[in-house]
Every structure is written in C-alpha cells, then in structure tokens.
Structure 1
Amino acid sequence: MKFLLIKEIMKCAQVYALLLMFAFFTSCGQNRKEGKKIMINSETIGVITAHGPKRITRNVIQDRKGNIWIAAFDDIFRYDGKSFTNITSKVSSARFFSVLEDRKGNLWFGSIGAGAYYYDGKSFTNFTTREGLLDNAVGSIYEDKKGNIWFGGSGGASRYDGKSFRNYILDGNAMYEDKNGETIPKRQLYGVGPIIEDKNGGFWFGAGGVFRYDGKSFTNFTHNGKPFKNVRSIIEDKKGNIWLGGADGLWRYNGSTFTNFTQDFVGHIYEDRKGNIWTSSQKANEGRCVLSRYDEKSLTDKKPTVTEIMSKHEGNKGMIFGILEANDGSIWFGTMVDGVCRYDGKTIACFKGKQDQK
C-alpha cells in the first residue's frame, strides 16, 4: 500500500512538472507574439510643434485621412495641413527610418536599434528580436496583399502575420528562409531595404543584390553577369515594369530584359499618378544631389526627357529620400539637412524651422 502511495505521488509530481513546463513555454510563446505594450495617455500622446523634423528625414507617406506622416532621425511627425505633431517623443529616442499605414488604418514605424512600433492611435506596441523580429534595425516596412507586414533590415527580412514572425536570411549573393531560428554572428554590409510584391505575387528584395521570392525559392538577378550593388529602391509601375535604383544607377526590368537610364547613384524611385518616374540621385563627379522627373511619354525613348526639379551642391549632405505625391499633386520628400520639403510645381518649401522657399 505504501509503495502504491509513493508511486501515485511520483505520478502527480511528474504531471505537475509537465504542467509547469507547458505553462512556461506557452507564456514565452505568447510574449514572443504579442510584443511589448507601451501605454501613454492618448490625449497627450503627441506634441504639437511649429516645425517639422530638423534631422535626417528618411520616409514620407500620406494616410487615408490626408495626414502626412514623416519618419526622421528626431522622431515620427504627423502634418495635418496646418501644424506638425511629434508622435513618438514620449515613446522612444530611436532614429526612425520608415513608416507605413496598413489596410486597417493603423501605423507602423521602423527604427534603427529599437525594432518596430505598431500604433493604433491610442497606444504603441514594440516588436524587437525578443518577439521574433530578425533584427532591431528596421529600414523598411511593407504590407502584402494578404495583410502580412514585412520588415527589411540588417541581416535580411521578417514577415509578421499578426501572430508570429517568419525570417529570411541574407547571405552574400543568396537569401533563404530561416527555419531553425538562426543567429547571425556577422551581418551583411547591406541589409534588406526595399520590399515589394509584384502583380504576380512574387516578392522583390533590394540589398547588396536584387532577389525575387516566389514563395518557395529566391532568384538573384544580375545585369551583364554581375549582381546589382547596394539597391536602395524598388517599385513596380502601372504597366508592370520593375524599377531598381542603387549604386548601379536606375534600371527598368520588363520581365525579360534590363534597361539602364543612368549610372548615377539612385536612392529613391517613385511613380506619380501620371506615370512620371521621380528619382533622387547623386552625381558624384559633380558633387551634387538631384531630384529628377522622367517624363512618362518619353520613357520608351533611348534618351527620355528628364527635368531636374532641385539640385544641391552639397555632396552627401544634399541627399534626398522618401518621395511622395500628395493628394493635391504636390511632391514631398525628405532630405539630409533640410528636414521634409514640399514642391508645389513652382517652388520648394522646407519645414525645418522657418519655411524656407527655394
């Protein structure tokens, strides 16, 4: 009888231990998925300012309500047409690189060093490597057709389905899905920047090269037998062409061949509603950075019509980022030293402090 009692106690102890272990791993799994909540009084979450960002401005978007959102090294700003509001001054001191409005109207912010932030208008949720993000440096954010949120950064890319992360590793001239929870001791010189989904459901990634993912495997694209270098921007135009910008200049891919438009370094590409292609480029030999517009009607010509909208003879300090066409047709863009600027078709106004007409 005594032996049976001891046996039953041991059984209970084993069951209890298993229950504790299950509870521990379940709790850990939930923490990895949910992210860290940052609660702030929604009435005082933003700080109204008389100016826009004063530091490097990387990304500009417009939300469904018409507000302009700006990601800069001195926080995330929202412009309602009258004044600027600093949204993240009470949340993080990180440098912000990217901003996205998802299909539900929520905002996502990518930072360098503090991961990604989800903002529902009332509170913030912070996602880092502890929750499953590949890296805490998030240079780009993209939403695919299924509603998954993609993050590009150092070492590769992450996809978030609302519950958990799936990571994709950048390894030299190759990319692959991480199925083993790898750690990466040595990061690539260039992480994943731009991410887009094309009309056929394939995903394009810009990094030290150009990769297309069909859901099963990655294809590394080359030109003249050489991989693309330091790709900073990828878009798909209304006709289905893929445009690439980076250290090798501006390229268009029609599904079979690549066409080069300039060999100047191209940092950003944007297609406006008329089909014109806007670029920010750096003419290293001339020591200037240029905001240009390629006329849609001449894009099939060997030498398309290009208009220089703005040119700055300041070397790297004149670099331009994050081009946007707003609802009123004005062109917004970020800069290295002037914060965020707006081109109304005639003049350029920057909002670093006093509005500077250029």
Structure 2
Amino acid sequence: MKHLYFYVLLLFTSCTVCNAQNQQRSYYPIEPETKEVVTSHGPLSITRNIKQDKKGNIWIAAFDGIFRYDPSGLLKIGGKAFTNITSEVSKARFFDVLEDRKGNFWFSSIGSGVFYYNPSKTHKDAFQHFTTKEGLANDRVPHIYEDKSGNVWFGTEGGASLWDGKSFRTFKPNAGLTNADPNDNDINSIVEDKTGKFWIATRGNLFTYDGKKFTIFTHNGDPFINVRTIMEDKKGNIWLAGAPGLWRVNGSTFTNFTLNFTGYVYEDRKSNIWTSSKPEYSYNGGDRWALSRYDAKTLLSPKPTATDIMQGYEDYKNMLFGILEANDGSIWFGSLGGVYRYDPAAPLRAGERVITAFKDK
C-alpha cells in the first residue's frame, strides 16, 4: 500500500439481576474554580473515543483531557481551536464521553471515576464528580451508554453501574455462575437493541440481559471472549468487534468478516462499516493497526472485503481506537498519539489520501 500524504494542521490561538445495590445520591462540585483552556492542538496522548454533539461540536476523550473541537469556530488567523474542557478540573486519564438526551455530558476515566458536566452553568459549578464513594462499581470506567429510557450505564472494571438520575445500581454479569470468571465483570461495551434486549461485552464472556437475568451468548457452543465494541446497525444487525475478530449477528445467522483482533466498529451514514484492527502480520518491525472500510454494497457478498484507508505508519504509534463520522462526512479516529481526520471527499495529494494530524509545532 502506498504511503499516505499527511497534512499536519498547525492551529493558532488568539487568546440490575445480579446483586443490584442501591446508593444514595451524593455528588459534589469540583473545586477550586476552574476554567477552560483553548489550545492550538488536539490531544497528544492516548485518544480512546470521539463523539459529536447535537450542536456539531466534536468531543474527544484522551489521557490528557477532554477536548472539544468546534468546526465552525474560526479564529482570527483562520485556524480552528480545541478547548481542553478538563484542563483545570482533573488530570484524569479520560476514556469515554457521552452527551445525554438533556444536553449534559458525562466523561469517564481510568482510575478517577466519572465526571458530569452541565455546559449551561458557569464553569465553577458545571462539574460533578462520582466515584466508588458515591456508589460507582469501580473507578476504572472504559464505557458510557444511555439506554432508551434515559438511564446512563457505566461499564466499569467491577461491573455495570446504572445511573437513574438519583442513584447507582451495580450489576455483576457473572453473579450466580458456576466457576465464574472475574473478567466477566470487566465491562467493555453496552448496547440496547431494537427489541429492548441489552448486549454486554466484557473481557470475559459476551452476555445478553433481558431485564431479569444475564445469559452467556455463544455461537455453535463457543462463547465470544473479550469483545471490545458492540454496535447495532440501521437494519438491526448486531456487530461484535474484539479478540474474536469482526462478526455480524442477525438472529440465528452469524457472519464472520475477519478473525483479526478488531478494536472498534462503526457505521457511517451511507451504511459503510469502519473498523480499527490489528493486522495478521508484523509490519516494519511492529504491529501497525489499520483503519478500514467495508462498503455497504459489499456487505451481503459471500466474501466481503475491506479497503484499508491507512495501515502501518509510525505517526499513528501502532494502535487505533474510536471512530466517528462528523457531520461534514470526514472520519475522525483516535490513536496512541492523538486524534486524526480523514476526508474521503478531499482531493488526493501526490496521488495519496490526506490524513490531518492535529499536532502543535
């Protein structure tokens, strides 16, 4: 595969079955008074998840903060700024971000619990912090999900904690199982499908939950171990990405797309499927993950194949993580060294695709 053409953008600033436990609401504001910090670059560390809010802003969860990017916020010199929302709030290693249906935000971290952010309040009063002291199952929280009833689920390394607006309830998927695997309480991903059934991926088994009990999900008697991402597509198919590779589940029909480790799966507006995955082989002396796309028109073919948008370049620092299609059709993705953007509509440069790296000088 040819080398990609990198465009480094330098920005300038002018300025509930399983031992459910109820806990009482007891959160507290962040002190001292905090402020947002506008930067000339995006995150420079591990970037796990990227989301777009109702206003079109892009939110990035990284180990060096929660960043907000406003595509319409032109600065005086023509650049676009990132705002590190949590710069003066916490030095936590942030992992996921969610905008709830009320327009408020939740930020999860590895080791520091979760943060609630109300952007309508002054920055001093905008944040609340929740940890195990307030009933969270564990302070290591890789995942956040809002269900159809407006409840917020936190996938922690000690079970799934459900926040109903007043208190937490903690669910242990492996409760009651014979020879239970402790990894079954290490939650990677949660999805409620169109029927109201929950799918819960752990570092152990994959479970379904009907509101009463957890059931280990299998294929031909074999469990799916260490699924990292679950997604329901527009047609109601369930996609599973992780150590078992990439799978599509439609009722009793299972389709495997690859057995390579797949960290993230995402459907764009045209029903193309995007993945970040580890190749079968070592590339140039190290594992260079691929950002790949399965075109919608090929998904029903007997042997669907992916197009690698990029693979094997040192600038990505090996691993790739979350994927987002922004409102303008560009594809954002996280890596070990920050966030990148690929614009499928952009003209080629020197015959190569353009990847924008949001780096400082």
Query: TM-score, normalization: structure 2?
Result: 0.82
1:164 equivalent to 2:154? Answer no
SS in 2 for 1:136: coil
Larger radius of gyration: 1
Which of 186, 197, 202 pairs up with 2:197? 202
Residue 241 of structure 1 corresponds to which residue in structure 2?
237
Greater per-residue helix proportion: 1
Name the CA distance, whole Å, in 2 between partners of 1:197 and 1:270. Answer: 16
SS in 2 for 1:238: coil
Structure 1 regions of 5+ residues with no counterpart? 1-28, 176-185
Residue 87 of structure 1 corresponds to which residue in structure 2?
85
Check the 8 A contact 1:73/1:94 in 2, yes or no. Answer: yes
Name the CA distance, whole Å, in 2 between partners of 1:76 and 1:233. Answer: 21
Check the 8 A contact 1:174/1:218 in 2, yes or no. Answer: no
Residue 74 of structure 2 corresponds to which residue in structure 1?
none
Per-residue deviation, 1:318: 1.6
Give the aligned length.
313
Residue 360 of structure 2 corresponds to which residue in structure 1?
353
SS in 2 for 1:301: coil
Cα distance change, pair 228–172 in 1 and its aligned pair in 2 (3 A): farther
Name the CA distance, whole Å, in 2 between partners of 1:36 and 1:114. Answer: 14
Per-residue deviation, 1:210: 1.1
Name the CA distance, whole Å, in 1 between partners of 2:69 and 2:335. Answer: 17
Deviations 1:145-174 (A, max 9, x none): 111000001021110000111111143995
Stretches (4+) displaced over 6 A: none
The amino acid that maps onto 1:219 is T
Check the 8 A contact 1:195/1:204 in 2, yes or no. Answer: yes
Check the 8 A contact 1:343/1:349 in 2, yes or no. Answer: yes
1:59 equivalent to 2:58? Answer no
Cα distance change, pair 189–199 in 1 and its aligned pair in 2 (3 A): closer
Name the CA distance, whole Å, in 1 between partners of 2:225 and 2:246. Answer: 12
Deviations 1:79-127 (A, max 9, x none): 1121001111111111000000000110100011110100001311111
Residue 182 of structure 1 corresponds to which residue in structure 2?
none
Check the 8 A contact 1:155/1:170 in 2, yes or no. Answer: no
Which stretch of the first structure deviates more once superposed, 103-112 or 207-216? Answer: 207-216
Q: How does 1:94-105 map to 2 (within 5 A)?
A: 94-105=92-103
The amino acid that maps onto 1:36 is Y
Residue 13 of structure 2 corresponds to which residue in structure 1?
none
Deviations 1:302-353 (A, max 9, x none): 211421111025599421111000000000110112x010001141101132
Which of 46, 60, 74 pairs up with 2:36? 46
The amino acid that maps onto 1:87 is I
Residue 106 of structure 1 corresponds to which residue in structure 2?
104
Q: How does 1:190-339 map to 2 (within 5 A)?
A: 191-207=186-202, 208-286=204-282, 287-313=287-313, 317-337=317-337, 339=338
